A and B are shown apart, each in its own frame.
Chain A
Amino acid sequence: MLTELLDILSFQGGYNTSVVLLGSALLGMAGGVIGVFSLLRKRALISDAISHATLPGITLGFLVALALTGTGKSLPFLMTGATISGILGVLLVQWIKDNTRLPEDSAIGTVLSSFFGLGVVLMSYIQTLRDGSQAGLESYLLGSTASMLQSEAEMIAVFALLITLTAAIFLKEFGLICFDPDYAASRGWSVSKIDLLMMALLLAVVVIGLKTVGLILIIALVIIPPVTARFWTDRLGLMVGISAFSGGISCFLGAGLSALTPDFPSGATIVLTATTLFLLSLFLAPRRGVLATGLRQIFFRYRISRRRALLSLGQGQPVLSSLFILLLKHEGTLDKNGQVTKLGQQKIRQMSRDQDLWNQYLSDYPEEAFAQKNWSLSMITDVLPPDLIHELEENLRLQQKVAG
């Protein structure tokens, strides 16, 4: 089983399977890239409206193709239908949002369920036609790579590459619009045009991904990889790169697993693979991950306790916790007999100075200090700008003069 999987993943499972895998990987990459921008533009859910809205289009495309060519399963007809009804769905969401008092999420919920309902009715009608070619149409619901033709996989690959390239070229503009659309508009950037392009790319990913991932699960392709990537970086460019990689590898592995077990819909295996990467990131990512947050919490307590211990020593009070005496001995603040060393005195002076400045900050600017997450945690010079620290020092000196 494992060797078979390795064979498939190393492109030895036959030419057709290899092309399908490659197409899927590129599809995942495209979804990961464009997904970052829908996430940051806070429009992640609109992709769910688009994907569900494609179903009536797919079924109508099937019926038109059946009438014109005698067979319903013609990819160009299905894709065109999907695109048109996807666009209709988005326009309807936009219209409801602009012309009623409904919030966007209600508009999305209404549109996606109505379109999906219509699609299911049309699909059931097609099932009654007994034409024979309708078999497999339901694979658009949950995705199936097993029945994918080589030409279809190639088309997916080409479009996925085009989408990724376009998004990469517009990285600067997309980032600007996502962060601060008002500012962008004030500089003369056409926010509506750039938004339209983002929406078009999102729609394109959904349409080319229908066959592989299925319309019910395709939203995962544009949401899970970006949120996975966000765990690892604070930089937009890197986030796009990591999201592309994580989307690509999820689709590659997921499609490989599905090729091995054709009974599993490929959409499900792909999404589960993406979820695995997400869970790994959730727990293991440095800084933003759950584990790192927990460790930081422990370290945070340690830092507070150490600061308190040094300040107590500075005021001539003994450190009570025997654990902390050990730690302070270890770092050289106390010698073997528990006496403060020279190095220790320097550290104590530094720490009380720092605490004085933090206290001064708190009394001078209570609101600012209250909002400052690092208050009295880090050294103040690492947190506040030099001009402010200079001012605090001046105020402190004045106050000490008055007190003295």
Chain B
Amino acid sequence: MIAKLLRLQPHQPLTSEAAKSAPLAIQGLSVAYHHKPVVWDLSFIAPAQGLVAVVGPNGAGKSTFIKAALGLIPKLSGEITVYGKSVASQRHLIGYVPQRGSVDWDFPASALDVVTMGLYGKIGWLRPVRKAHRAAALGYLEQVGMADFADRQIGQLSGGQQQRVFLARALAQDAALYFMDEPFVGVDAATERAIVNVLKDLKDQGKTVICVHHDLQSAPDYFDHALILNIRPVASGPMAEAFTAENLQHAYGGRLAPSELSGLIPLAGQ
């Protein structure tokens, strides 16, 4: 059933039953920066309970796709629904892990302060952060193995530790649909494992994660679905169907080294 849904369906209207219940349904999304299209006519329906790797070459519009889906940048055209309703009305269900390089780590905040930001939505406008909130935030830091670093200024953490703090902040939101932008970039293997464990937990809890991922080798191990982009969508669906050497070659063109491709070819036959 899901396999059928996930094959590219360029112009299926979002009123379909499948789109209404999907964590994320996108129809004909196009985005441009300074008159240059970066994402072109993308339609995609995310599986309920699944880990989706968004892969594609540099400049393929992966981060742009995520930012547009979150409503952070204006889109040229297209419709986006989250569980059948507009993104703006479903924000409480959406979690976001931005790229680590997108913030100033010299900011006067501790690891715990940053995780507490994930609870601000629950706390609400103008209400102060209370002890109970900080205790809850500490629990999320614990989940990513960072409880001992709660009071450390965020600039004093290593890259992997900073990424874990970002992940804990997203967990604190207790969302149903997560967007993550390259969480595995520049992290140590222990952090990589910690992130993979968190992803598995999220999936087991019935959640959906859409994750920009740059490493083609590990993608089939960590994720069960793929969305392959190169400005235009190339393929999407369960890993075994979409993540084929043919599709990757199509997306990456000559930029994919033959050795990288050869490692993946067995997948095509699965």
Residues of A within 8 A of B (CB): 40, 42, 169-170, 172-173, 175-176, 178-180, 182-183, 185-189, 230, 233-236, 238-239, 364-365, 367-368, 371-373, 383-388, 391
Given A172-B128, A387-B194, the answer on whether A186 and B123 have CB atoms closer than 8 Å is: no
Contact status of A173 and B125, CB under 8 A, knowing A179-B103, A368-B188, A391-B190: yes
**Which residue, of A42, A188, A383, has the highest number of chain B Cβ atoms within 10 A?**
A188
Interface size class of chain B, counting residues whose CB lies under 8 Å from the partner chain: 35 or more
Q: Complex formed: what's the CA distance from A32 to B120 in Å?
A: 25
In the bound complex, do residue B110 and residue A235 qualify as a contact, i.e. CB atoms below 8 Å apart? yes
Do the beta carbons of B117 and A179 come within 8 Å of each other?
A: yes
Residue contact B125 to A179, C-beta cutoff 8 Å: no
Contact of B109 among A183, A236, A371, A373 (CB under 8 A): A236
Q: Which one, A170, A233, A368, A387, contacts B108 given CB within 8 A?
A: A233
Residues of B within 8 A of A169 (CB): 126
Known: A40-B108, A368-B186. 5 other contacts (CB 8 A): A169-B126, A183-B98, A186-B91, A236-B113, A385-B145
Minimum CB distance partner of A238 in chain B: B108
Task: Report yes or no: A365 in contact with B121, Cβ–Cβ below 8 A.
Answer: no
User: Which one of B67, B88, B103 contacts A188 once the chains associate, using CB atoms below 8 Å?
Assistant: B88
Is A176's CB under 8 angstroms from B188's CB? no
Task: State the Cβ distance, A52 to closest chain B Cβ, in Å.
Answer: 27
In the complex, chain A residues whose CB is within 8 Å of the CB of B127 = 172
For the residues of A in contact with B, the DSSP-based class is: helix
Q: Is the CB of B108 within 8 A of A385?
A: no
Question: Closest B-chain residue to A101, C-beta based?
Answer: B34
Q: Which of B107, B156, B159 contacts A368 (CB 8 A)?
A: B159
B102 at the interface (CB under 8 A from A): yes
When distances are taken between beta carbons in the complex, the residues of chain A under 8 Å from B92 are 188
A64 nearest CB across to chain B (Å):
38
CB-CB contacts below 8 Å: B23-44 with A = none
With beta carbons under 8 angstroms apart, the residue of B71, B110, B153 that contacts A185 is B71
Jot down 6 A-B pairs with beta carbons below 8 A, ordered by A.
A176-B117, A235-B108, A239-B108, A364-B189, A368-B160, A384-B158
B236 within 8 A of partner (CB): no
Is B222's CB within 8 Å of the partner chain A?
no
- B156 — nearest CB in chain A belongs to which residue? A373
Q: Judge whether B216 is part of the interface by a CB distance below 8 angstroms.
A: no
Chain A: minimal CB distance from B161 (Å)? 7
Contact of B110 with A234 in the complex, beta carbons under 8 Å:
yes
- Cα–Cα distance between A372 and B187 once the two chains are bound (Å): 12
Question: Is B146 part of the binding interface, using a Cβ–Cβ cutoff of 8 Å?
Answer: yes
Contact: B96 with A391, CB < 8 Å?
no
Check B190–A387 contact: CB distance below 8 A.
yes
A179 close to B159 (CB less than 8 A)? no
| Chain B residues within an 8 Å CB radius of A172 | 120, 123, 126-129
Contact of A178 among B91, B107, B126, B186 (CB under 8 A): B107
Tell me whether A385 and B102 are in contact in the complex, defined as CB-CB below 8 angstroms, given that A169-B126, A172-B128 are known contacts: no
Q: Check if A180 sits within 8 Å of B188, measured CB to CB.
A: no
Neighbour of A372 across the interface among B109, B125, B158, CB < 8 A? B158
- The answer to whether A40 and B159 touch across the interface, beta carbons within 8 angstroms, is no
Closest Cβ of chain B: how far from A300's Cβ, in Å? 15
Q: Which residue of A lies closest to B90 (CB)?
A: A188
Residues of B near A233 (CB, < 8 A) are 108
Residues of B near A367 (CB, < 8 A) are 186
- A176 in contact with B108 (CB, 8 Å): no
A388-B153 in contact (CB<8A) = no
The residues of A that contact B186 with a CB separation of less than 8 Å are 367-368, 371
Taken together as a complex, chains A and B put the C-alpha atoms of A368 and B184 apart, in Å, by 13
Bound together, the chains give a CA A368 to CA B158 distance in angstroms of 8
Contact A235-B120, Cβ < 8 Å, known A368-B160, A368-B187: no
Q: How far is the CB of B107 from chain A (nearest CB, A)?
A: 5
The chain A residue sitting closest to B114, CB to CB, is: A179
